[in-house]
Structure 1
Amino acid sequence: MLRVAVLISGGGSNLRALLEECRHDSYPAHVVAVGADRDADGLAHAEAFGIPSFTVPYSAYPTREAWGDELLGALAPWGADLVVLSGLMRLLPAGVVTALAPGLINTHPAYLPEFPGAHAVRDALAARATQTGASVIAVDAGVDTGPILAQERVPVLPDDTEHALHERIKPVERRLLIDVVRGIADGSIDLGAASVPRPS
């Protein structure tokens, strides 16, 4: 059984979907802890499912590196095989990425490498793109530059607002995350490989 820790900043809709999937005996992963960089609404999902949670407030530390060291310390007791960044709106320090890789993945509301960064949905609309998407990647030292584990296109409709488009992307993002975690758990996705093949 793959032991998973999830890090969030907001409402945790992807987290909740993963927790619901983990209820099924056939799903080969289990969320052991949920962490946040602030008092995130999504921590309520952990409480509802009886999952331990912790908060390492970014604002309480003088540097990103100091915050990262404390985050690693908070993660350590749970012995997670995989750490999922699911709406964590914070760049991890390089030392944290090194410590957790290759068992570190991230969800992103765009069809990478298109529209990396924190405002992917807004950027897609600003670019007048006719399609965007959702991706799950292995995290590396860059910003949304790691190997792509799964991705899927989502059309941009002529009257889309940022909220409406993001709401259509979210269910795709959740499904991809659930599939990728399953693949890592059953060995069909090898995070230890030098490069992860893109899906055809």
Structure 2
Amino acid sequence: MPGCGHDHAPPHAKTGKSRVAILISGAGSNMAAIIEAAKAADYPAEIAVVISNNPDAPGLALARAAGIEALAIDHRPFGKERHAHELAIDAALRLRGVEVVVLAGYMRILTAHLVRAWEGRMLNIHPSLLPKYPGLDTHARAIAAGDAEAGCTVHLVTEGVDEGPVLGQARVPVEAEDTAETLAARVRTVEHRLYPETLATFILQRKTAPV
């Protein structure tokens, strides 16, 4: 009611920033990079919540230390009811007005339900230059193939594993003495730059896209 003195606008309506949720399962190094980027006044996203399927994920404590709500929605009590676990996650996201979901080391294969519910609004980062090497052991596979370059890819999540449209990539050279571990460490460094940058670009493009 005009003149009532109460402001009922949600926080993102005041800031103009999109509300983002980050899903993690472990340490959350990419999560930490996005949280750090989001501290900038001109970053187009605010981190509304961090959710993990693992109550012991170190990333939860990192998020809380940054002043961000961090929830554990443990998959284990749900047993084989993967859909029911995802319904709980979906409810938590919607309750908090989340607009974009970011997977950052979330080690659960999603069902079609959650993927479709957030189609076009869910991002993932994969440690290869997709479409090369979807799935696991990407660095060892790149070395075994004799590739000159490796890297990482941010893509939209679709029902096919690591098959969604590519939003951004970063490349690193494969050195002659590389092991899977040394290559992974070098790729991880560029992940921490690529993911926040690509997320920002994605959100800005969503805001300016015709309805």
Aligned to 2:46: 30
With the length of structure 1 as denominator, give the TM-score of the two structures. 0.89
Deviations 1:24-54 (A, max 9, x none): 1111111010011112111122011110011
2:71 aligned to 31, 54, 60, which one?
A: 54
Deviation for aligned residue 1:190: 7.8
Aligned to 1:107: 125
Distance 1:59 1:121, change over 3 A: farther
Q: Which moved more, 1:120-129 or 1:149-158?
A: 120-129
AA paired with 1:32?
A
CA distance in 1, matches of 2:187, 2:167: 17
AA paired with 2:69?
P
Deviations 1:150-172 (A, max 9, x none): 01222111221222111101121
- Gaps in structure 2 of 5+ consecutive residues: 1-16
Instruction: Say if 2:30 is the partner of 1:14.
Output: yes
Identity of matched residues, %: 37
With the length of structure 2 as denominator, give the TM-score of the two structures. 0.85
Instruction: Say if 2:201 is the partner of 1:186.
Output: no
Aligned to 2:175: 157
Aligned to 2:160: 142
CA distance in 1, matches of 2:38, 2:93: 20
2:59 aligned to 31, 36, 42, which one?
A: 42
Deviation for aligned residue 1:122: 3.0
Asked which structure has the greater CA Rg, the reply is 2
AA paired with 2:44?
P
Deviation for aligned residue 1:120: 1.9
SS at 1:187's partner residue? helix
2:151 aligned to 127, 133, 143, which one?
A: 133
Aligned to 2:134: 116
